[in-house]
């Protein structure tokens, strides 16, 4: 154990305003000073690096240290971001809006940020209470703010929290992209190097936004798909996944004229422990089991689920062949449903475009072509999708949908829910269902199927080794499916999306994409197939999933 590491930990503890993390760190320091190997390793983990500020902002486990989310790190981030905003401001005092969800310390981190922004001479506006991430994204545009901060870790594990940053002006309320991330990170590092957040100026003169901001979001989102008369017959179930979506969604459902859902009561109110799920993500196995059980009991037509900060949406439909009687639609299926809806509405509009990330279904390109619209394929993340020229709709297969770009330039699980309600009501009017709408997509635009294989790791170096192995020894085939071409997007041509992504195009027209997750310790593989029938497309995906799993086992 180096004296330098101990001194670093003690200096951190002296400036920490949170007694809980101070006590936590003091205990580790005491054990490490006595020669406890586990405590020494823990200090190295906490202080050997710092959570990197990037285009996704900050996100990590709560705890003391530079490699954790805590009040010291948040103060450094807020002060650094304030310096960045002052530096780029050319016309007066920058305005920043701050929102927060129901996770542990979210309100504390948001209030600290508001005080530090105000202390730095910015106009700081704190949203009135815990609210969904899309409300914060909306507020940046609605209030004409220069920036926004949302304290949330979205669907991460319960002990995580995060700090998501948006920019107004030319960015129109979208999340940051390069080079802003590096410029903000440099300002944050200068604050961190000063080594004492207690000297940073603070002020309680920040503003608290009125309910009119929330009311404006409710009105704009209800207008996405006002209910037809047939909507009164809908029977649906909703779960907030222990997050902050319910209060806002319920008001919007009423404003739009839809019947209120039958809810999963155990998951309706914010709960930072996420006590009924092992992982608060609708994509994870078991996360929607309570919703499925509720849906069976009430014989619902469909189920809608938001993730904890309500920027994602999951949709499930009855399925007699499933063990639990329900099938969650894939993000691609919902994405294409909403894409077809948007394309029909935008047909004939000059410059209108659909956009999705490069790992999402190529079916959106087919929909755009069918309706004479432009199509853009971007890197993963709505910071890129939302910036597509002429965008009227965008989506990502990870349950993210942008259906209302004029008001929210980010994924929005609540406006997407309203759009799905509109589709369900229209289908109900003609004696049809959401399942039928999915089947009709194939008949109109071609039969696309998708799948995904991912490996979660404890050691991030495993992901690096697998990616290096695939680059140095590219696979020539995936089982019976031969590779026609391989692309390394680290070396993409100018103007094309570039990143740590490998893309394989197979001889039968299928596609496999491999990339590390940007927010979780996962390696993710995306599989897409197109065939003459839905059954054959699904069969190809199953074959490729098995081949990919085998390959990853060999390479890891």
By annotation, the residues acting in catalysis are: 154
Q: Greatest CA separation found in the chain?
A: 74
Going 415 to 418 to 419 to 420, the CA torsion angle's sign is positive
Look up residue 447 and give its two tokens: 């039969």
| Distance in angstroms (rounded) separating the CA atoms of residues 147 and 173 | 7
| Distance in angstroms (rounded) separating the CA atoms of residues 3 and 13 | 15
What letter does residue 432 receive in the DSSP assignment? -
Find how far residue 168's CA is from the centre of its chain.
19
* Helix residue ranges, H only, 350-433: 363-370, 382-385, 413-429
Asked if 204 and 118 count as a contact pair (C-beta separation under 8 A), the reply is yes
| Distance in angstroms (rounded) separating the CA atoms of residues 501 and 517 | 10
Burial class (CB in 10 A: 0-12, 13-18, 19+), 525: buried
Strands 174-175 and 160-167: antiparallel
Strands 313-318 and 511-516: unpaired
Which of 306, 233, 310 is closest to 264 using CA atoms? 306
Question: Using CA atoms in the order 537, 517, 338, 451, what is the torsion angle rounded to 10 degrees?
Answer: 10
305 forms beta bridges with 239, 314
């Amino acid at each position: 154990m180096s004296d330098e590491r101990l001194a670093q930990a003690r200096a951190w503890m002296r400036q920490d305003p949170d007694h809980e993390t101070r006590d936590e760190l003091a205990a580790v320091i005491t054990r490490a000073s006595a020669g406890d190997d586990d405590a020494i390793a823990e200090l190295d983990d906490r202080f050997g690096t710092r959570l990197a500020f990037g285009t996704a902002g900050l996100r990590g486990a709560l705890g003391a240290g530079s490699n954790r989310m805590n009040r010291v790190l948040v103060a450094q981030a807020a002060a650094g971001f304030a310096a960045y905003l002052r530096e780029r401001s050319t016309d007066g005092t920058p305005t920043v809006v701050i929102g927060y969800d129901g996770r542990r310390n979210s309100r504390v981190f948001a209030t600290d940020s508001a005080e530090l922004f105000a202390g730095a001479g910015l106009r700081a506006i704190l949203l009135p209470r815990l609210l969904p991430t899309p409300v914060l994204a909306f507020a940046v545009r609605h209030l004409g703010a220069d920036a926004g901060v949302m304290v949330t870790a979205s669907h991460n594990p319960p002990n995580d929290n995060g700090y998501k940053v948006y920019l107004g002006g030319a960015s129109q309320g979208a999340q940051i992209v390069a080079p802003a991330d590096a410029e903000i990170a440099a300002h944050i590092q200068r604050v961190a190097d000063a080594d004492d957040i207690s000297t940073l100026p603070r002020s309680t003169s920040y503003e608290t936004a009125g309910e009119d901001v929330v009311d404006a979001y409710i009105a704009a989102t209800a207008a996405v798909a006002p209910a037809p008369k047939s909507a009164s017959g809908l029977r649906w179930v909703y779960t907030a996944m222990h997050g902050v979506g319910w209060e806002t969604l319920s008001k919007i459902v009423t404003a739009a004229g839809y019947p209120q859902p039958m809810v999963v009561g155990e998951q309706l109110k914010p709960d930072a422990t996420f006590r009924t799920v092992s992982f608060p993500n609708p994509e994870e196995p078991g996360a929607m089991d309570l919703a499925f059980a509720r849906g069976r009991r009430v014989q619902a037509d469909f189920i809608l689920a938001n993730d904890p900060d309500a920027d994602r949406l999951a949709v499930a439909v009855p399925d007699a062949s499933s063990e639990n009687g329900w099938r969650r639609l894939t993000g691609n299926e919902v994405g294409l449903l909403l894409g077809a809806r948007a394309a029909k509405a935008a047909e004939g509009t000059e410059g209108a475009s659909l956009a999705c990330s490069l790992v999402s279904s190529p079916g959106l390109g087919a929909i755009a072509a069918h309706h004479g619209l432009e199509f853009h394929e971007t890197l993963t993340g709505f910071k890129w999708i939302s910036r597509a020229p002429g965008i009227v709709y965008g989506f990502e297969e990870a349950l993210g949908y942008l259906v209302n770009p004029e008001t929210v330039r980010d994924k929005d699980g609540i406006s997407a829910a309203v759009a799905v309600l509109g589709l369900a009501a229209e289908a109900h009017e003609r004696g049809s269902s959401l399942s039928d709408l999915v089947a009709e997509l194939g008949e109109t635009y071609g039969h696309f199927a998708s799948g995904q294989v991912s490996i979660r790791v404890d050691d991030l170096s495993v992901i690096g080794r697998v990616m290096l192995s695939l680059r140095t020894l590219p696979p020539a085939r995936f089982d019976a499916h031969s590779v026609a071409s391989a692309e390394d997007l680290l070396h993409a041509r100018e103007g094309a999306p570039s990143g740590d992504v490998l893309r394989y195009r197979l001889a039968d027209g299928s596609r496999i994409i491999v990339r590390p997750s940007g927010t979780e310790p996962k390696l993710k593989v995306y599989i897409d197939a197109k065939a003459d029938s839905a059954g054959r497309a699904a069969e190809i995906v199953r074959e490729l999933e098995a081949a990919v799993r085998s390959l990853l086992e060999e390479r890891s």
